[in-house]
Structure 1
Amino acid sequence: MPQALEGPAATTASAAASGTPPQARRWAGVATMFGSGLSNQTGAAIGALAFPVLGPLGVVAVRQYVAALVLLAVGRPRLRSFTRHQWWPVLLLAAVFGTMNLSLYSAVDRIGLGLAVTLEFLGPLAIALVASRRRLDAGCAVLASAGVVVLMRPQPSTDYVGMGLGLVAACCWASYILLNRVVGRRIPGTQGAGAAAGVSALAFPPVGIVVAVGHPPTAWAVLCAVAAGVLSSAVPYLVDLLTLRTVPAQTFGLFMSVNPVLAAVVGWIVLGQGLGGPEWAGIGAVVAANALSIATQRT
């Protein structure tokens, strides 16, 4: 989350002072970033295993509960001290947080994990490209657009609703980033993120009750949903906080580019969601656009 980007310098200095070789820190950072991405996508795939029983809505409800417990424990927001000026972006962030997860999981249910995550990834990529005035980034935007056209090309089996849900998730992720910047400036530490997660979770108990009544959950389905919350919310958040203490934000953003590839591989292994050559080409174009844009930025 953006809040973590505000204070890595101090902790990086402490890591350097500890005498740990820079190369060792770099490899440790790469390992933790890979582990975070793999955990995130594996959690999403495991959550999808519960779709036949709980549906995407039920899985997202459980994930929101887990995320709220983790972020409230880490952020420890002092809710009574929040002003109206601080509350409105928190409430918007809470709405975006829930909508983002629901649209993503609904897209995963319809078009598969790899394609859904690739479309969602367009959100942060669009923000990065729009904020830049370099000609190279204009080329990256064209490359990413070509990838999307390939992914969404008309076919008899094309699920446009699923594609649309993936794009909704992308818009939500972009909004999530922008709102997190506002919250990070107005509320110290990770209190804002914790408050937003808590508020978002409050909207899901009625949903959980309706799902449980309509489709009585099995122990296996609940376990999968909880695992999705832990692996896709708790683990990545905590690991990323630690990683950003020793890894530059630019490197972190560059490594994030592999998430669509990880999602496609995990979706194939766990869910049996194989992709054809054109789909891999589209994913590769989006990943390459983001990687090229970040790798050529001046630090």
Structure 2
Amino acid sequence: MLLVLVGAIGVQSSAAIAIGLFDALGVLGTSSVRMVIAAVILLAVFRPALRGRTGREWTGIVLYGVAMAAMNGFLYLSLGSLPLGVATTIDFLGPCLVALAASRRPREGLLAVAALIGVGLIAGFGGPFDSLGLLFAALAGASFGLYTLLAARVGQSKGGLSSVALSVVVAAILMLPFSVPAVPLLQPQHLLPLLASALLGTALAFTVDTMAGRLTSARVLGVFFAFDPVVGTVIGTLFLGQLLTPVAVGGIVLVVAAGAGIVWSAGDRRSR
């Protein structure tokens, strides 16, 4: 839970930083350049070996990279027209559906539904939102669901964190059509925000999410990702001027309670 919370703080802080670069580098330019920076950092830290990996392991690495690229690209496109809390709430629908699909008892399913309701309260649905932004957020959610499944698969594989580095390289390669045109637009004042965004939202977040995937199932991991809209709403309030309402506070309490409940339920089942 703490690992996923750290990852959520990293992702949402990174998004708040990156939004300030959209005008200069473009939405996809910002997302892709930070992915390249993160790939270089992770390669330097983990120095992953290319040999000795099975075909199944390489399949997981490539699919994880595809999910990373799609999730980041679509989420950032949605942030171009949606508030951070709304975008991350819709994004969370993917892992929440993973949790629902993998539930084995009605109680766990009800807790996952409660988490989803809480996320809805946090976002405060009811205002007129851009339809294309909603579509991008939904596509980000679908990618996030795949990411949730693969975080557990890659995290529990023999390669572990070195495989994560290779997955980020795959994501960076897929996003080269957007990062290459953005390079000539870079100015010295962009470098520090890009580095901070890459470290927090990509290198750190993907690493801790995969570590969490080694420790638990995709179902529990999916519910823990409810931290993302919670943290996104808080950071949106602090840095983007989106004030929390009493309904949003109630949603935060509901999400946290539901997440704790599903972990307790899963642990209770394993102990029998």
> Structure 2 length normalisation: TM-score?
0.78
2:137 is equivalent to residue 166 of structure 1 = yes
Mapped to 2, the partners of 1:243 and 1:286 lie a distance apart of 19
SS at match of 2:138: helix
SS at match of 2:80: helix
- Higher deviation after alignment, 162-171 or 82-91: 82-91
Of 19, 31, 52, 1:48 maps to 19
In the alignment, what sits opposite 2:160? 189
Q: Is the 8 A contact 1:44 1:228 kept in 2?
A: yes
2:197 is equivalent to residue 228 of structure 1 = yes
**Code of the aligned partner of 2:12:** Q
Give the deviation of 1:57 after TM superposition: 0.5
- % identical aligned pairs: 31
- Higher deviation after alignment, 93-102 or 267-276: 267-276
Mapped to 2, the partners of 1:188 and 1:117 lie a distance apart of 30
Mapped to 2, the partners of 1:194 and 1:227 lie a distance apart of 18
Q: How does 1:42-81 map to 2 (within 5 A)?
A: 42-81=13-52
In the alignment, what sits opposite 1:204? 175
SS at match of 1:188: coil
Give the deviation of 1:258 after TM superposition: 3.4
In the alignment, what sits opposite 2:234? 265
Give the deviation of 1:112 after TM superposition: 1.8
**Code of the aligned partner of 2:190:** A
In the alignment, what sits opposite 1:125? 96
Residues 243 and 101 of structure 1: CA distance in aligned 2, closer, same or farther (over 3 Å):
closer
- Higher deviation after alignment, 35-44 or 46-55: 35-44
Cα deviations across residues 83-129 of structure 1 (Å, max 9, x unaligned)? 44433332222211101111111222221222222222232222222
- Higher deviation after alignment, 265-274 or 234-243: 234-243
2:187 is equivalent to residue 218 of structure 1 = yes
Q: Is the 8 A contact 2:115 2:226 kept in 1?
A: no
Cα deviations across residues 142-180 of structure 1 (Å, max 9, x unaligned)? 43554576658564x222322222222222122123234
Mapped to 1, the partners of 2:157 and 2:208 lie a distance apart of 24
- Structure 1 unaligned regions, length at least 5: 1-28
In the alignment, what sits opposite 2:114? 143
In the alignment, what sits opposite 2:70? 99
Mapped to 2, the partners of 1:101 and 1:280 lie a distance apart of 27
SS at match of 1:111: coil
Mapped to 2, the partners of 1:202 and 1:276 lie a distance apart of 41
Mapped to 1, the partners of 2:186 and 2:246 lie a distance apart of 37
Give the deviation of 1:223 after TM superposition: 2.8
Q: Is the 8 A contact 1:57 1:207 kept in 2?
A: yes
Give the deviation of 1:71 after TM superposition: 2.8
Residues 141 and 166 of structure 1: CA distance in aligned 2, closer, same or farther (over 3 Å):
same
**Code of the aligned partner of 1:264:** T
CA RMSD of aligned residues (A): 3.5
Residues 263 and 224 of structure 1: CA distance in aligned 2, closer, same or farther (over 3 Å):
same
**Code of the aligned partner of 2:240:** L
> Structure 1 length normalisation: TM-score?
0.72
Residues 119 and 286 of structure 1: CA distance in aligned 2, closer, same or farther (over 3 Å):
farther
Residues 173 and 256 of structure 1: CA distance in aligned 2, closer, same or farther (over 3 Å):
closer
Mapped to 2, the partners of 1:220 and 1:124 lie a distance apart of 36
Flag the structure with larger Rg: 1
SS at match of 2:242: coil
SS at match of 2:39: helix
Give the deviation of 1:287 after TM superposition: 5.0
Give the deviation of 1:78 after TM superposition: 1.8
Mapped to 1, the partners of 2:98 and 2:259 lie a distance apart of 11
